[in-house]
Amino acid sequence: MSLPLEGLSAIVTGAGRGLGRAEALELARLGAAVVVNDYGRPGRDGSGEASAGPAEEVAAEIRAAGGEALAHTGDVSDHQQAAALVESAVNEFGKLDILVNNAGILRDRMVFSMSEGEWDSVIRVHLKGHFNTIRHAAAHWRERFKAGQEGREALPRKGGGGRRAGGPVYGRIVNTSSEAFLAGSAGQPNYAAAKGGIVGLTTSTALALAKYGVTANAICPRARTRMTEDVFAGLERPADGLDPLAPEHVAPLVGYLAAPVAARINGQLFVVHGGMVAIVERPRVQAKFDSKQETFTYDELDALLTAHYADRPPGETFAAAEVLGLKRD
């Protein structure tokens, strides 16, 4: 019996540790050949010397288990290095089928104290990093579509062959957003903004690439990793059994979204952790007001909107803080 991802190749960014590592191992377990990408800097703020160690270790772990893996240490926030990452998958495995964007850093600060550099660096790694890899993967899939290649068919290594007229390619994108975007994390304006931008990028990409056979979805994972060690410092790991905050709770959803059975799932946002998956509903219109004349006046808006908000909870915003209370029943 064949594995769900057999004959497919994948890229996982930030795969040297934590969530990315668990996702890369899961994709490999399901049969995919994996490019393990990690820039390898030790600090969660992106500080320290880059190292090939984390990516090489995970790639070696996949190969030791009988899978196929290639380590890549490029910086996804660099446009050309992201292009080289996609090219490495195509050169090594003949094509790219799955892109999982997970790389990220943290530089937390209240908005009134945040420096320009702290803002720019987080936006660059998270949001621009997602764009960079998607841009080059999307170009690859579009070219394959135009060439009439059949995406599900495993192509010979180093490309070539396997062409037929018509038919979509096989493409899956799984992006990583965060509950910080949904709940409006007060001490993370850069991170929350980047993660919100990733959702917008995901839905735009989903619509743009659907005709080529490509899906794009986003997840908001909660897990105990290097980036969240202080957040969950007070929550003890269970003496026996799987930690509810283990990255291994997140990886199966990524594997599922990368598989053929998820072909109808596109442009969606999931919250996932601790044996639970929640589908986040798209925003709905809460109320609508029409002017009695051609356009609103100040007094008319005052009469309508001030009255509307008078009875609403004072701390209520567009943020959905209730997601933080989600747990497995």
Positions annotated as catalytic residues are 178, 191, 195
d(C-alpha 155, C-alpha 163), whole Å? 9
d(C-alpha 279, C-alpha 322), whole Å? 13
**Triad 81, 87, 93: Cα angle to 5°:** 140
H/E run at residue 90: helix 79-93
Beta strands in 226-310 (DSSP E): 269-273, 276-279
Which residues does residue 70 pair with via DSSP β-bridges, in sequence order? 35
Amino acid present at 53: G
At residue 35, the 3 state secondary structure works out as strand
Under DSSP, the state recorded for 12 is E
Phi, psi of 65 (to 5 degrees): -85, 5
Distances (CA, A) of 71 to 3, 93, 99, 126, 274: 22, 13, 15, 20, 29
Helix axes 129-147, 189-209, angle to 10 degrees: 10
Question: How far out from the chain centre does Cα 92 lie?
Answer: 23
What is the DSSP annotation of 144-213? Answer: HHHHTB-TTSPPPTTS---B-SS----EEEEEE--HHHHHT-TT-HHHHHHHHHHHHHHHHHHHHHGGGT
Amino acid present at 308: H
User: CB–CB of 4/30 below 8 Å?
Assistant: yes
